[in-house]
Amino acid sequence: MKKTLVILFIVFAVLALLFAGVLALVLGSESGVSKGTVLTVDLSLPVTEKAHEAGLEALLAGSMSHPLPARDIATAIREAGEDEDIAAILLHGGVSGSYSALSCVRDALDEARRNGKPVVAAYGSLDERALWMASVADETWLDPLGSVLVDGFSIDVPYMGEMLAKYGVEVQVTRVGKYKSAVEPFMRSDMSPENREQLAGILAEIEARVYGDIAEARGLELESIRAAARTEGIVTAKQALERKWIGRIGPFGEVLTSLKQVAEVDEGDDLPQVALESYARRIRHPKPRGDLIELVQAQGEIVDGSSAAGIGGDDLARRLRAARFDDDVVAVVMRVDSPGGSATASDVIRQEIVALKAAGKTVVVSMGAVAASGGYWISADADAIVAQPETITGSIGVFGMLPNVERLAGEHGLREETVSTSPLAGWDTLMRRKSPEQLALIQGHVDEIYERFLDLVAAGRKLDRPHVAEIAQGRVWSGTKAKELGLVDELGDLDVAIELAREKCGKKKAAVRVERPHLDFIEQMIEDVLEDQRRDLARIQGHPALQAARMAERVQALLGRTGVLARLPFDPQLR
């Protein structure tokens, strides 16, 4: 008995020590920074418009985006730029995420530098995203053995029509619009000329924007960067220094020594540092009061009902409805980063936008990397639409996919017999080919929704319907081209959209309210423990096995849909 009590005492003592250590870890992150501290910014995990879901469940589900949304990262950097205790800002690790999400971070770094805060970038090697981000720094270091990967931009679209046919899977399609190529990968073994045309145009504009930003920041000729991308691909550290792409070559230890001089720290002492995530938690301001602009994030694929991973039509509608009934909310800025999805769910969201406007509230849409198909459907009725130059938008078209695995099933001895009361019944089964009558029924529904799409775009954007019909056809456009066509009003980032909302509602001092995920104690503990492991997670993110699993998941999701979709032709993974 006495021995058992001793063992229990030891167990409880160990647990108490562990608890105290975790508590110190969590609470310690809330302490202030000392004079001469360097803010370290590691963007190795993809920066997105919306913070990732917190906790262990999200981690196990593969949620490995940056723990802070892009706007919070930018806000923390701006605060650091004015914080007298922050001696400098250090970029290191890596840069990942869409250019649209990262642009506000780059702008914040540039603002901090122009306000006199030293910004230093130090990387082992650079790719185009990192070079673009680092180009606004006062000083960019590269490891002596490092290099700069500058090889242009590409979008990969896998085609599996031949493979599906080989395994006995047929995909019947109903669609509208010659550019509505969402179904191409399931029917063809190569890219259509129309799809290649639209993607090539968008990539050319993105290249001009990114290379142009680098050239402007570094005082270079745009054509010199473009030429390197076409003839070299990889530039050594020495060559990058000679071309003024970077400022210095040296190992990371030399970077820290240099920063100690900036921070006025003795060479033998440790350099005080604070990670971006910790600093952002410390500077969060209390919830704003008075006139408010509600910032609503719409990120991911649009699905009916609720969704933990994307945009649930009912979820987003509920959020917009709450803003409509909140007397403090004078305007809503909806940040859309979505390839679209369910047409019915998109219209549920759109109806709430219309209701917001009818209630006298201003609605401005800010487009991120992608706001196409259903993503454009939910945007069209806003008082104003602001897109970024590299935004992929448009894709005004709809389609339905009807997979048929009858031959595959038959080869494995599986048969399905049917008894029905109508020749039209059973159109959603996977086990047989659809009859001409069934296909005509579904095509009629697709045509009706497409006509509805054209109507709402023409009315919402105040455009002639023939013009909308001409620029629709499921074609995607860059933000720059969309502005020329009248599909968007302004070019700019989220801050531009917020200022436009203030202007339109006549409330110049309206504060921005952002919904944040609540972290309980355990979730916060997991966040803090993982803070030092983010680079490892970033490496897992790019593992071929994980990429293959995600591709399979996307294919399964599309093949499993029986409703009409207003969705982008592909999941754009810009490289």
- State which amino acid sits at residue 183: V
Pair 148, 135: CB distance under 8 Å: no
Per-residue burial over 115-147, b = 16 or more CB atoms within 10 Å of its CB, e = otherwise: eebbbbbbbbebbbbbbbbbbbbebbbbbeebb
Alpha-carbon dihedral of residues 476, 365, 68, 32, nearest 10 degrees? 150
Q: Is 374 exposed, middle or buried (0-12, 13-18, 19+ CB in 10 A)?
A: buried
Q: What is the DSSP letter of 285?
A: P
Single-letter residue type at 161 = G
Q: Give percent helix, percent strand, percent coil of the chain, each to the nearest 5.
A: 45, 20, 35
Secondary structure class of 57 (helix, strand, coil): helix
Residue 361 contacts residue 330 (beta carbons within 8 Å): yes
| Nearest in space to 389 (alpha carbons), one of 299, 325, 462, 484 | 484
CA proximity to 180, closest of 198, 166, 165, 168: 198
Q: Say if strands 170-175 and 476-478 run parallel, antiparallel, or are unpaired.
A: unpaired
State the Cα–Cα distance between residues 343 and 32, nearest whole angstrom.
Answer: 49
- The stretches of 421-543 forming alpha helices (DSSP H) are 436-461, 465-471, 479-485, 494-505, 521-530, 534-541
Q: How far apart are CA 130 and CA 53, in angstroms?
A: 25
The rounded distance, in Å, linking the Cα atoms of 120 and 3 is: 59
- Contact (CB, 8 A) for 332 and 356: yes
φ and ψ at 508, to 5 degrees?
Answer: -65, -25
Q: Contact 346/566 with Cβ under 8 angstroms?
A: yes
Catalytic residue check, 180: yes
Strand pairing class (565-567; 340-342): antiparallel
Catalytic residue among 96, 100, 307, 373: 373
Active site residue 373: yes
Of the candidates 50, 117, 180, 260, the residue annotated as catalytic is 180
Tell me the residue ranges of DSSP E strands in 36-143: 37-47, 86-97, 119-123, 139-142
Q: Letter for the amino acid at 543?
A: H
Where in the sequence numbering do the catalytic residues fall?
A: 180, 373
